[in-house]
Structure 1
Amino acid sequence: MTEGTSELTAPELTRDSILVLDDKRFIADNVALVTGAASGIGRATAVALAVNGLTVIGADIDGDGLIETADIIDDLTASGLFYDVETDLTNAGDIRAVVEAATKEGTLRYVANIAGLQHIDPIAEFPVDRYDHLQDVLIRAPFLTARAAIPHIEATDDGVGAIANMSSVHGQYATQRKPAYIIAKHALNGLTRSIAAEGDGLLRSFSVSAGYVLTPLMMNQIEQTANQRNISTEAVVEDVMLGQARTKEMMTPAEVANLFVFGFSGHGRHLNGGDLLWDGGFTTTYE
Structure 2
Amino acid sequence: MSDEATDLVPPELTADDVLRVPDDRFTTDTVAIVTGAGSGIGRATAVALASNELTVAALDIDEDGLDETVDVAGSVDADGRVVPIECDLTDDAAVEAAVEEAAELGTVRYAANIAGMQHIASLVDFPMDRYDLMHDLMLRSPFLLSKHVIPHIEATDDGVGAIANMSSIHGHYATQKKPAYITMKHGLTGLTRAIAAEGDGTLRGFSVSVGYVLTPLMVDQIEETAAERGITEQEVIEDVMLGQARTKEMMTPIEVANLFVFGFSSHARHLNGGDLCWDGGYTTTYE
TM-score range, shorter chain: over 0.9
After TM superposition, list the pairs within 5 Å mapping 1:155-166 onto structure 2: 155-166=155-166
Query: Equivalent residue for 1:106?
Result: 106
CA deviation map 1:206-264 (0-9, x unaligned)? 00000000011101110101112221111001001110110011000000000000000
After TM superposition, list the pairs within 5 Å mapping 1:134-145 onto structure 2: 134-145=134-145
After TM superposition, list the pairs within 5 Å mapping 1:120-131 onto structure 2: 120-131=120-131
Residue 199 of structure 1: how far off its partner (Å): 0.3
Query: Equivalent residue for 1:29?
Result: 29
Give the letter aligned to residue 68 of structure 1.
E
The range that moved more, 223-232 or 160-169, is 223-232
Query: Equivalent residue for 1:256?
Result: 256
CA deviation map 1:141-199 (0-9, x unaligned)? 00000000000000001100000000000000000011110000000010000000000
Aligned partners of 1:65, 1:228: CA distance in 2, in Å?
Answer: 29
Aligned partners of 1:27, 1:268: CA distance in 2, in Å?
Answer: 17
Aligned partners of 1:110, 1:33: CA distance in 2, in Å?
Answer: 6
Aligned partners of 1:10, 1:221: CA distance in 2, in Å?
Answer: 14
Query: Equivalent residue for 1:168?
Result: 168
Residue 81 of structure 1: how far off its partner (Å): 1.3
Query: Equivalent residue for 1:49?
Result: 49
Aligned partners of 1:66, 1:38: CA distance in 2, in Å?
Answer: 4
Say if 2:191 is the partner of 1:191. Answer: yes
Query: Equivalent residue for 1:92?
Result: 92
CA deviation map 1:83-131 (0-9, x unaligned)? 1011001000010011001100000000000000000100111000000
Aligned partners of 2:157, 2:164: CA distance in 1, in Å?
Answer: 21
Aligned to 2:248, the other structure's residue is in SS state: coil
Give the letter aligned to residue 71 of structure 1.
D
Question: How large is the Cα RMSD of the aligned pairs?
Answer: 0.8
4+ long deviations beyond 3 Å: none
Residue 4 of structure 1: how far off its partner (Å): 2.7
Stretches of structure 2 that go unaligned for 5 or more consecutive residues are none
Say if 2:39 is the partner of 1:39. Answer: yes
Aligned partners of 1:229, 1:188: CA distance in 2, in Å?
Answer: 28
Query: Equivalent residue for 1:119?
Result: 119
Aligned partners of 2:198, 2:117: CA distance in 1, in Å?
Answer: 28
Aligned to 2:124, the other structure's residue is in SS state: helix
Aligned partners of 2:4, 2:27: CA distance in 1, in Å?
Answer: 43
Q: Is the 8 A contact 2:15 2:77 kept in 1?
A: no
Percent identical: 65
Aligned to 2:197, the other structure's residue is in SS state: helix
Query: Equivalent residue for 2:268?
Result: 268
Q: Is the 8 A contact 2:195 2:273 kept in 1?
A: yes
Say if 2:18 is the partner of 1:18. Answer: yes
Say if 2:214 is the partner of 1:217. Answer: no
Aligned partners of 1:221, 1:114: CA distance in 2, in Å?
Answer: 17
Aligned partners of 2:239, 2:75: CA distance in 1, in Å?
Answer: 38
Query: Equivalent residue for 2:60?
Result: 60
Aligned to 2:79, the other structure's residue is in SS state: coil
Aligned to 2:117, the other structure's residue is in SS state: coil
Aligned partners of 1:114, 1:173: CA distance in 2, in Å?
Answer: 19
Say if 2:70 is the partner of 1:70. Answer: yes
Stretches of structure 1 that go unaligned for 5 or more consecutive residues are none
Residue 69 of structure 1: how far off its partner (Å): 0.2
Give the TM-score normalised by the residue count of structure 2: 0.98
The range that moved more, 224-233 or 201-210, is 224-233
Give the letter aligned to residue 37 of structure 1.
A
Aligned partners of 1:221, 1:76: CA distance in 2, in Å?
Answer: 29
Aligned partners of 1:155, 1:208: CA distance in 2, in Å?
Answer: 26
Give the TM-score normalised by the residue count of structure 1: 0.98
